[in-house]
Structure 1
Amino acid sequence: MLVAAAVCPCPPLLVPEVAAGAAPELDAARAVCTDALGVLAAARPDLLVVVGPSDGTGPESYPPGTPGSFRGFGVGMDVRLGRGDGEDAAGRQLPYGLAVGAWLLQRTGWADAPVEGRGVGDSLMAERCIEEGEDIAGRAERVAMLVMGDASACRTLKAPGYLDERAAPFDAELARALGAADTAALRALDTGLARELKVSGRAPWQVLAGAASGNGGLRGSLLYEDAPYGVGYLVATWS
């Protein structure tokens, strides 16, 4: 059963070595992500599952110890997903969202924890995301999730997706839903609109909604909402 969840953004710029001179601009987001992961630790889960966007359709499984890297972003820095030698990874590397999640875990004392990763692609439909979440929640008696994903990338003229007037209202409703642990609203996210607004977190958040379906007692809290670089970043906890 899902007992706790933390929702965090997944831009590689969250890693100071990648952001370089711009690192201080996301100091507040990093601090709040650390607080959110503290909620997971307090829940004392038997299993932690990191869910994030992937390039494939998915769901794709990443066993404990799967390696990741930020070398594609010009930084010779590697990470590993929790405890494990990565032998079962079959040569796979973590997609960037899960690599950022692994980095967050390493800096907050989860390096030796039992952690698994699941990648879900943008083309994965809502129904399948819900099923995936239900499967994850049934993996152990006490399951926690770290859910990685960004909101729209169309909040300003300089945003990766340019300015789209639909982006701010979409992100506002998303922030409300995550802060209220509103699983119905997350299930109902418009897949097509999310794709047009370059929302990377749609599928991961719908996996979260499915995982929470067996625990109606979860309560949400929105810890952070901002749009640096024209991209919506949200941090929330459910417990």
Structure 2
Amino acid sequence: MFSRLAVVPHPPLLVPELVSGAVPDAEQVRAECLAAARDLAAHAPDWVAVGVDPSGPRTLDGVAGTFAGFGVDVRVALAEDTEDTGKAVDPDLPLPALVAGWLRQRAGARRVRVHLVPPDLPPAECLALGARLADEARPGQALLVLGDGSHRHGELAVGRPDERAGAFDEDVRRALAAADVDALRALDPDLAAELGADGRAAWQVAAGVPGAWRCARSAFLAPFGVGYHCAVWEA
């Protein structure tokens, strides 16, 4: 059973080496994510993570990767004991796993095992996975949930803006701030897909984790046309 979980986005801009010069909006998103990760690490050195990627479902554990595909060879590892060991680096490690490893290292956690799910995973299967991960969790583990909101906010929207993006991410923001699992369970997967909010599947996995939750901190930012949610829940 998990006693703490953190929700963060996973944009490459979290990694300073991938951002040219000082970008205040990127620094704000990075600060919120690092604060959530450090909170998690202060309570649990071992993490279970869930992220969204078309290569899912699959699980990654004890591997290393690089952000070279995003422009700079910044290397990360999912476990402390695989850092600087000469172990082969997977050049195709998916972005959620890369960010999970980067946050683990920055926050000082020992290990993160990443479960990747496809963006179209049905809500019932998301909830079932959340319950299973909680049942399998060892004492001293916490849950890291990685997922972005809609990428259709305003003039910087990817593709085209969509006036529904604001209301959708506001519903997510309120649900996370209130630790309202029922509201997360009610998110419409079809609407989320239309708005490019792939984080929907990861949030609904979190909604399947049993427990009486309260939100310890939360934030929402959308500086680059994408909704970025951060939250920490405690049991």
TM-score norm. by structure 2 comes to 0.90
Q: Does 1:97 align with 2:104?
A: no
Question: After the TM superposition, which segments of 4 or more aligned residues of structure 1 sit over 4 Å from their partners?
Answer: 89-93
Are 1:54 and 2:60 an aligned pair?
Answer: no
- Is contact 1:52–1:120 with CA below 8 Å preserved after alignment? yes
Q: Where does the alignment leave 5 or more consecutive residues of structure 2 unmatched?
A: none
Aligned match of 2:34: 34
Partner of 2:226: 231
Alignment match of 1:120 (pick from 117, 121, 125): 117
Deviations 1:59-78, CA, capped at 9 Å, x for gaps: 310012x1222111111122
8 Å CA contact 2:38–2:108 kept in 1: the answer is: no
Other structure's SS at 2:20 match: helix
Contact 1:161–1:197 under 8 Å retained in 2: no
Alignment of 1:19-168 (within 5 A): 19-21=19-21, 23-44=23-44, 47-56=46-55, 58-64=56-62, 66-85=63-82, 93-110=92-109, 113-139=110-136, 140-168=138-166
Structure 1 gap segments, 5+ residues each: none
CA shift, 1:142, in A, is 4.0
- Once residues 136 and 225 of structure 1 are traced to their aligned partners in structure 2, the CA distance between those partners, rounded to angstroms, is 26
Partner Cα distance (2:68, 2:139) in 1: 37
Once residues 105 and 23 of structure 1 are traced to their aligned partners in structure 2, the CA distance between those partners, rounded to angstroms, is: 23
Structure 1 pair 90–9 and aligned structure 2 pair: CA distance change class (3 A): closer
Aligned-CA RMSD value? 2.3
Partner residue in 1 for 2:9: 9
Deviations 1:151-209 (A, max 9, x none): 10001122113210000000001000011111111111100000000012111111111
Q: Which residue identity does 2:125 align to in structure 1? A: R
Instruction: Kindly indicate whether the alpha-carbon contact (under 8 Å) linking 1:179 and 1:220 is maintained by their aligned counterparts in 2.
Output: yes
Shift of 1:2: 1.4
Task: Tell me how far apart the structure 2 counterparts of residues 42 and 107 of structure 1 sit (CA, whole Å).
Answer: 12
Superposition deviation, residue 124 in structure 1:
1.1
* Residue matched to 1:190: 188
Q: Say if 1:53 and 1:98, in contact at 8 Å, map to a contact too.
A: no
Deviations 1:85-130 (A, max 9, x none): 49xx9968431022112111111212xx132111111121111111
Q: Distance in 1 between matches of 2:89 and 2:101?
A: 18
Task: Tell me the CA shift for residue 42 of structure 1.
Answer: 3.4
